Structures are given as C-alpha cells and as structure tokens.
Chains A and B, each alone.
Chain A
Amino acid sequence: MRRHVLPGFGISLGYALTYLGLIVLLPLAALAWKASGIGVAGLLHLLSSPRTLAALRLSFGGALLAAAVNAVIGLLVAWVLVRYRFPGRRLFDALVDLPFALPTAVAGIALTTLYAPNGWLGGWLATWSIKVAYAPLGVLLAMVFVGFPFVVRTLQPVLESLDRDVEDAAESLGARRWQTFVRVILPMLAPTLLTGFALALARAVGEYGSVIFIAGNIPMRSEIAPLLIVQKLEQFDYAGAAALGVVMLLFSFVLLVVVALLQRWSVRWTESGR
C-alpha cells in the first residue's frame, strides 16, 4: 500500500462522501422520486406547454447571457482592481462583494425602484422607449447583478499571479497590445474565466428573489422557471413542481459539464492537462 504524508485518507474520503450524499445527493434523489409521480405523459404535457418552454428559455437564455456579460465586465473590473493603484481602490474592491451580502429581495426592490418607469433611470430610459423593469431586460439585469462578484473574485488572484515578464516578452517580440491581450493574456486567463462564468451561470439560473421583483412576471414574456415552480407549489401540484425542478437540474448539469469540458481543453498546456 502506498504511504501518504498525511494520514487519514480513508476517513476523510468517507466523511466527504457522506456529507456530499446527505447535503446534495439525498435531496436531489428525493426530488427525482417526487417528480416521478407525474409519469411520462405528465412530463410530456408539462414540457409541451408553451408557458413552461418560454419560462425555461428565459431562465437559461438569460442566465447564459448574464454570465457572458459578467465574464466581460468582471474581467474588466478585476483587471482595473489588480493592475492599477488609485484612490478609493480598496473601497471599490469591497463594493464588489455587495451583491453577495445583500438579501436578494432587497436587491430586487432596489433595482425595481431604480428602473421602474417612474424611477430615476427607468424614467430616463423610457424616453428612449427602453423598458427594463417588468420586461426580460430586467430579468437579465438582476441576473447580472447577483452573478457579478463571482467572475471578479475568481479572476483576481490569478491576475495577481500573472507573470508580467510574459507581457514584456510579447511586446519586445513585436506584438501589439491587443495581440498581447488576445494571444497571451486571455488564453492564460481562460480556465479561470470559465470557472467564474460557470459560477455566475449557476447563480443566475437559480436566482429567484431579486428577479421576481423586477421581472413583472408576465406569462410568456418575463416569467422565469423558478417562479413557475413556486406557482405549482402554491396550487399543491408537488409532482409538477418537482418535475420542472428536475428538468432545470438536468439542463444545468449539461451546461456545467459543457463548461467543464471547455475548461479542460483550455488547460491542455499544463502538466496535468495531458
């Protein structure tokens, strides 16, 4: 048997598996079991309902878009925070975490107040006939808001440890700044950026509190899938709610697997990548 520097692999693996089972797998199994109550026909009926499809499309499409927006803006913010020294930097840095700390309902109410047609920004945007609150755009905004810290916080340590010599080397080899960014910096950040993207995506898919306040929840237009689940629960349709939950779960799982595969491809150059 191979000896390890630190003892206790058996007990820690057992503990980790038990914990994972109790906290994650058991509730999910219960969900699947509950969902099986509606049967195949029920599931098909549920999935063929245009309202369900519209809600799923909004939830996943919105979450993907929000995660993409966060990846871009988060990279920018992390870059500024790591690379530049300016007065108020630490305060700015602390502000990044606010969406984590805020109860999501509070965030939803704040965003709604701001973007409602009679709000500060909403009123101004209305003159350009852009509707944010009570529209799909509002859903996207709330999803961007809650997912924002993930990208920044995952990127920051990696950006800090990035070797500046590599950029100097690229420049002396004749690369223009955008070439250095696209060919050197971005590929090195890609794995981390994907992690941040996946976290922001997962958060946006699961987000409920802030979205329902700003979404207006108009069926077929600005209604998210988690809201449909809550509605089913309120009508005591537990099996239907669970079935929709399982569908969301599967979608999320597939998305996260795709991101993980992309990530594995993006680190093909590390020692473990082979």
Chain B
Amino acid sequence: MNLELSHLSRRFTDFAALKDVSLTVAPGEFIALLGPSGSGKTTLLRILAGLDYPDSGSVLRDGEDFLAIHTRERRVGLVFQHYALFRHLTVTENIAFGLRVRPWRSRPARAEVRERVERLLKRVQLEGLGGRYPAQLSGGQCQRVALARALAVEPDLLLLDEPFGALDAQVRVTLRRWLRELHEELKLTTLFVTHDQEEALELADRIVVMNNGRIEQVGSPEIIYQQPATPFVCEFIGKANRLTLRRDGNHFSAAEWTLPGDPWGGRHAQAVAYVRPEHLSLAVPASQPVPASQPAWTARLRHIYLAGSVAHLELHVAAFDQTLEADVASEDLARLDLQPGSLLRVAPRSAVVFPLDDHSGDAVAGDRWAWHDSERKEPGRLRSCR
C-alpha cells in the first residue's frame, strides 16, 4: 500500500498544527514521526486514522482519495499511548471487538472469530490470558492486547501513537524489539509517533523529524544522526555543542580553532557549528607542547558524569566562555587520569555548520556544510581518546 501525503495543513483555533506537510510512504515501510510535543506529529497520525481532517492538502492511497474514506472503512489499526482498551471486556472480547461489530453479512462465524483471537493471542505472546480483564494486566501486556486488537481487523496500515510512552524503561526496550520483529514478519506499513529519539533511531526504516508543524528532515536513522539537515535536527537528535564562528578572511574561526575555507564565498560574516560530544578530541596534559599549526582550545574539566559505559565531561573553554560537553569511553577516563579541575586541549573532529544570515541572525538551513577533520590539509591531528 502506497501512501502519498501532499501539502497537508491543519489549523486549530490558536495555532497551526501542520504547515504544508508532504510525505510519501512506501509499502511495508516502518516510519517514525519524531518531534517535540506540539510539533504536529499526533495531528498527522490522527488525520491518517480519520479522526481529524486537514484544512487543505490531500492523502492518496494507491491513487485513491484516502480522506474521503470513513474511519470505519480505512482499514487502519490504531494503537494509543494509554492502550485505550475496553476495560469492561476481557482480553478475548477486546481482540474480537473489531470482528463482532461488523455487519452480520461480513461478520466471521463464531468459531472463526475464536480461532483468529487464539492465533493473535499467540502472536502477541499472551496465550492463556484471554479471560482476563485489562485491569488485571501489566502495562506491557495491555499494549500487546491493544496491538492484537488492531491487527484483528487485518489493517493495511498500522498507526501507533507513542506506543511505549506509558511503559517503564525495561519493558519499553523489550517491547520495541519485539515490535520490530513483528514488523519484519508481517511487513505491515507502520507509522508511529514518538518523542523519544532513541526509539525512533532504533526502530524505524525512516525517520520524519517534525517541528512546529513542519517536516525538518526525512531520512534513514543513520542520515538523520550523521547528517542532520537543519539546526533543529542537530539540537533535537542526540546532543550537540553549539559554537558561534566568525569569518576571518577566507576561513571561519572560534578563538584558536579555525575551520579551513569558506564555502559561502564571503557572503556570511558569522556561522554556527554543531559538534557532537563524541566528536570532540581531547589531549592531556594541556601543558604538553602543541605545534602552532594545531588549532585547539584550552579547557578546564569541570565535572565528570559517569553514565555506565560512557562518561560525559563538562569542559569550560575560557577563550569564549562556554561550557562544552564531550563524551569519552569510561575505560579511557582512568587511562587519561582525568580529574575535575585538570586542564586539557580540545578540538572538534567534525561539525555541521550553518551560516548565519547577516540581517536576521537566523541560521540558513539550506546552506549546510558538513565538515570533517579529514578535510584539513595539515596532518597535525589531536590524539583521539576513542
């Protein structure tokens, strides 16, 4: 099933939830709609489910007008964050609901309904719990019942609204791996809404990053993470240090560190660079003689936050009075003998750079420059910790 969303806009009384959103979904794709709350991702999902309608724009399913089809006839499976199970019905009755409400001519026979429910219970690994009421199940079990209920009507499209949002961390991870496996097995076109980037990066074939009712970037998890297209994506996906660069002749610099070259031919006086914490190279001790050709800042280590396998370092660079975050592997921490208060040298290995508009001061998303250390001509590289 091919879905084509074009120029969708939706205004609520006081704000625009969707602004000119276009997207194509290929059959069998697993797509994450990722964005902060209020970014329009749920509105988009509700429009596809037929629970809301856009003010303008169209949705085509294999060429036919999807918006003209009533919710009941869309063959869409819906799963909600808070399960939305029928709590007065047993698990079996919940799953059978979509079959039982059919007009009697197309309603499957009792035995067939029972058999189909049994099959689904097995598929969601809840055999033997058919007689329970939702109140007697855990959150993870409830969400699997909700999924089985949605699958019972054999939908062409599965829509999940923050499906793991109400579950605790461990169940969430287990359930999403399981969902991924289920998708691999069923090949059902699936769209799910999430504000959890980790979830989106791990699960989806493609991620649609949304902000303020617009699509910021569409791409595979690798592309989204490694080649963020806009300043918003840089800041929203993963962590990023934001540095302001000034043009100095034909290159940009921030204090001692310079980026070779100017891809914009002198059109912009300032630029902003986003550097991931794992893309900062560190060298200790700071007193160690450094060739003048090697551009780097001197930074003071303020804090070390040990988070399992990775340590987050808070580095203060006096040259432009800014605190940077750098990630190192926990093992390296002891090897480098890093202590709070010690001085070290730090420089980015790669960065995503956007020029700043001279008048408005806003980043120009269209003129992205993905810079990597390998572009530098002189080989004087800092020793990497990783």
- A residues in contact (CB < 8 Å) with B: 163, 165-166, 168-176, 179, 183-184, 187-188, 268-271, 273-274
Contacts and interface: CB of A to CB of B under 8 A. Distances in A.
A172 B74 contact: yes
Contacts of A171: 50-51, 71-72
Nearest to B159: A172
B86 interface: yes
12 contacts: A165-B82, A166-B85, A168-B49, A168-B78, A171-B51, A172-B51, A172-B74, A172-B78, A173-B101, A173-B153, A187-B89, A188-B88
A190 to B, nearest CB: 8
A213 B237 CA distance: 74
Residue of A165, A176, A187, A274 with most partner-chain B CB within 10 A: A165
B88 A187 contact: yes
A168 B87 contact: no
Given A166-B84, A188-B88, A174 B133 contact: no
Contact of A184 (B77, B86, B102): B86
Contacts of B73: 174
B342 interface: no
B98 interface: yes
A269 B80 contact: no
B74 A175 contact: no
A183 B86 CA distance: 9
B94 to A, nearest CB: 10
A271 B135 contact: yes
Contacts of A169: 78, 80, 84-86, 146, 149
A269 B87 contact: yes
A174 B98 contact: yes
A141 to B, nearest CB: 34
A113 B138 CA distance: 60
B193 to A, nearest CB: 13
Contacts of A166: 84-86
Contacts of A273: 133
Nearest to A266: B88
A238 B77 CA distance: 69
A51 B238 CA distance: 84
B84 A165 contact: yes
Contact of A179 (B82, B101, B150, B152): B101
Main secondary structure of the interface of A (DSSP, over half): helix
A114 B82 CA distance: 51
Nearest to B72: A174
Nearest to A171: B71
B51 A168 contact: yes
A174 B102 contact: yes
A170 B90 CA distance: 15
Contacts of A165: 80, 82, 84
A184 B150 CA distance: 16
A270 B135 CA distance: 6
A188 B86 CA distance: 9
B363 to A, nearest CB: 38
A172 B76 contact: yes
Nearest to B90: A269
Interface in B36-92: 49-51, 71-74, 76-78, 80, 82, 84-90
Nearest to A175: B101
Contacts of B250: none
B51 A173 contact: no
A179 B135 CA distance: 23
A188 to B, nearest CB: 6
A183 B101 contact: yes
A169 B80 CA distance: 8
A168 B84 contact: yes
B80 A174 contact: no
Contacts of A175: 72, 97-98, 101
A270 B82 CA distance: 17
B265 to A, nearest CB: 53
Contacts of B153: 173-174
B136 interface: yes
Contacts of A173: 97-98, 101, 149-150, 152-153
A191 to B, nearest CB: 10
Given A169-B80, A170-B101, 14 more contacts: A166-B84, A168-B78, A168-B80, A168-B84, A169-B85, A169-B149, A170-B97, A171-B51, A171-B71, A172-B78, A173-B101, A175-B101, A183-B97, A269-B89
A231 B82 CA distance: 60
Contacts of B71: 171-172
The 8 closest A-B pairs by CB, nearest first: A173-B98, A165-B84, A175-B101, A269-B133, A187-B88, A169-B84, A172-B78, A271-B135
Contacts of A168: 49, 51, 78, 80, 84
A179 B97 CA distance: 10
A270 B73 CA distance: 32
A166 to B, nearest CB: 5
A213 B320 CA distance: 89
Contacts of B90: 269
A170 to B, nearest CB: 7
Contacts of A274: 136
A174 B101 contact: yes
Nearest to B81: A165
A98 B153 CA distance: 48
